[in-house]
Copies of this chain bind each other. A is one copy, B any other.
């Protein structure tokens, strides 16, 4: 076993919950429920000297009292009692601990001292520690959920190929909820918080080899080990797309990140250069991170920066052209030959070019025809679909799905508007087409794909 190996965290045969409680709403109770609800297949051992049983399960006075082996311990106890509990855990030869409790480095000197001692314990005994101040692991494949956010408030996403690594718990929880709402498929979401031991580098090494993960999103406030990180990221990015956000880009953000996980965030430019070196796609801001989740869940890369824009509303098409240029995409005209073909097959009032404007007289077939004829000269297409035009029908969705499959290049839908459009956006999503509700989001997503040309 590699000293950096953390795979047991994702396949534990047994989990002890230290500080388990029967009180509904308590952090440890939420975690026990999360594990049950996702269908964790291993053994769960509640540990708390105050109780003999919890929710019908035997409750242990201490970890030492558990007869069977324990792979992972989840600590939901006050920061001041964590070091004491770790002694028992080490004696029991538990492989890893997830410390969800807060009250460490982020609150000041006393907490920082406890963290130093935790680091020492990990180094000396080999026990791996995730946290403190973290949500831990949501694993949709091996069915582990240590997130203490209520399922009623933060929905769990369906199974898929996206894995998120996040230093920030609020970011991890919020993205989880957004991905659920968007219907995107998730393999794992991992939040390591104050990161006394396990961090993004160990996780990237593990995820690089994880077959269920097809694309990786990374939220960073700081880095654990710069050199090792770049190596691990490079290896991972060679196998699957990796995109990352560095929060604390400006002075204000830096100070916010510091107070929050106690991390000293370095100069932003260094991160930006490191991402480039490692082949990581850099995203700026929460919205772009979410765009990247959406588009990279459907397509791996655009292979280039040439974007074809098709619209049924001239003004909205012009907005996309602006946004595409803003994000560094190339909005070039089709060749004379393609233009002539399009003109011969479209009514005379359509504007052939880039964008090609099919106008309010658009039919379902017009979109498909332009896409198939022109796409040979482009890397990615953005289709603005405004549903006002009366001849457009819901059949367009299936037709675009088939055409997208046939041309083997990424097709992005942009469909702003109210209720009618939003319903159809759900249908686009279900058909596996990435759909965005503003020109800027669609252009930004296309730019992510263009940057992802590995």
Contacts and interface: CB of A to CB of B under 8 A. Distances in A.
Contacts of A166: 315
A247 B388 contact: no
A326 B286 CA distance: 13
Contact of A252 (B169, B321, B387): B321
A390 interface: yes
B417 A315 contact: no
Contact of A388 (B149, B178, B386): B149
B322 A249 contact: yes
B438 A388 contact: no
A251 B323 CA distance: 12
Contact of A321 (B103, B149, B253): B253
Interface stretch (A59-67, A112-120, A345-353): A345-353
B170 A314 contact: yes
B319 A247 contact: yes
A256 interface: yes
A225 interface: no
Copies in the complex: 2
Nearest to A312: B170
Interface in A298-314: 309, 311-314
A315 B388 contact: no
Contact of A315 (B167, B255, B287): B167
B417 A181 contact: yes
A247 B154 contact: no
A179 B1 CA distance: 58
B318 A221 contact: yes
Contact of A286 (B155, B349, B421, B440): B440
Interface string A413-437: 0001111111000000000000000
A260 B318 contact: yes
A405 B255 CA distance: 30
Interface string A167-191: 1111111100110110000000000
Interface in A252-275: 252-253, 255-257, 259-261
Given A150-B388, A153-B388, A177-B417, A256 B355 contact: yes
A132 to B, nearest CB: 12
Contacts of A251: 325
A285 interface: yes
Contacts of A318: 168, 221, 247-248, 253, 256-257, 260
A186 to B, nearest CB: 13
A308 to B, nearest CB: 12
A174 B107 contact: no
Nearest to A417: B177
The 8 closest A-B pairs by CB, nearest first: A170-B313, A168-B315, A260-B314, A252-B331, A181-B418, A250-B325, A259-B351, A171-B315
14 contacts: A25-B390, A103-B349, A154-B418, A166-B315, A168-B316, A170-B312, A170-B313, A171-B313, A181-B417, A221-B315, A249-B322, A252-B325, A259-B353, A259-B357
